[in-house]
Amino acid sequence: MKVLVTGAAGFIGYHLTQRLLTENYTVVGLDNINDYYSQDLKYGRLAELGVEREEIEKTDWVVQSASNEGFSFLKCDLSDREGVMSLFEDEDFDVVINLAAQAGVRYSIDNPHAYTSSNVEGFLNILEGCRHHELDHLIFASSSSVYGSNKEMPFKTSDQVDHPVSLYAATKKANELMAHTYSHLYGFPTTGLRFFTVYGPWGRPDMAYFKFANLMTDGNKIDVYNHGKMARDFTYIDDIVESIVRLIPKPPKSDDTVPYQLFNIGNGSPVNLLEFIEILEKNLGITAEKNMMPIQPGDVEKTWADVDDLFEYIDYRPQVGIEEGIEKFVEWYKGYYD
């Protein structure tokens, strides 16, 4: 099968692409490699997949991996309608996994247009590509952020999510509505995934655990929001990837009224922020100086995923606990940054 993975230079996209290649899928990766966070890290991930920065910058079209025969890569922005449509015309995709998006809750406060361009207009281009080229399954990334300030725990996909507290969350809710509409109108199967705080090696430097590691190793204080009264359903990257791989051959049934489904994809057990910091301190061998801060606009106090329906659908529950996951992250972090 041939799979398009958008956001292939990103955290989840990179790990998923690696796994798909070991499963003998043919993968075409797409990413705009923007400067929201370190481009060196993004190019480093691609280098692990056999595509070097020099090769990407030499051409404006697809680059073949030097070490993975089944992988090729295109530097392209999702909002580039002509580029996306040309890729769909050139490649006969069986499955599309859309992970590309402008990420980050706090960044959306100051840079709102980046979110509508990538997350709304860009996703529309993906939907149009799928509409005009028959495929087996579209899987797309939503976010736990759509739950906003919901108080009832754990979060269920049946909960009302009409009150987002950030523009990022609003664009992810828009993605769910857009995908449902296209599945209804054109009949191709779509699966949306509400990710819950994904972490691990090769992660995103804008995420709290990565920021904390950078600040602590530099001898700086860490900002702890809401005075530490925060909890997140931290989900290790390997559990995310395993779940996606199991979903690929299980699209919504074509005899459904609308071939559309939505799942939480999380660990199912929230961890208190201060406990999380203690585990990070232990693995880094550093005691953090904490700067206690009020909660930031757009943040929520707690996330907790109900993943029972996903478990029943793919027969898999997350396997990696927070202690093991942070240990693996720190091992990679120390090696990568020497």
> What's the length of the chain?
338
Residue 235 backbone dihedrals phi, psi, to 5 degrees: -125, 120
Q: What is the pLDDT of residue 238?
A: 98
Question: pLDDT tens digit string along 117-175?
Answer: 999 999 999 999 999 999 999 999 999 999 998 889 999 999 999 999 899 999 999 99
Domains contained in the chain, number = 1
Question: Tens of pLDDT along 271-316?
Answer: 999 999 999 999 999 999 999 999 988 788 899 999 999 999 999 9
Q: Is the pTM of this model over 0.85?
A: yes
- Portion of the chain with pLDDT greater than 90, in percent: 91
pLDDT in tens, 2-37: 999 999 999 999 999 999 999 999 999 999 999 999
Give the integer Cα–Cα distance in Å for 189 and 197.
26
The token pair that represents 216 in the structure block: 């602590």
At 256, the pLDDT band (50, 70, 90 cuts) reads low
**Spatial distance between the Cα atoms of 222 and 211, rounded to a whole number of angstroms:** 8
Residue 233 CB: number of other CB atoms within 10 A?
Answer: 25
Question: Is 182 an annotated catalytic residue?
Answer: no
> CATH code at 205?
3.40.50.720
Q: Give me the domain span that covers residue 189.
A: 2-336
How many Cβ atoms sit within 10 Å of the Cβ of residue 297? Answer: 10
- Which residue out of 14, 168, 182, 236 is catalytically annotated? 168
Cβ-Cβ contacts under 8 Å for 89 (sequence gap 6 or more): 133
In this predicted structure, what is the pLDDT of residue 107?
A: 85
> By C-alpha distance, which of 237, 201, 197 is closest to 328?
201
Residue 254 pLDDT class (50, 70, 90 cuts): low
Token pair for 337: 């940054």
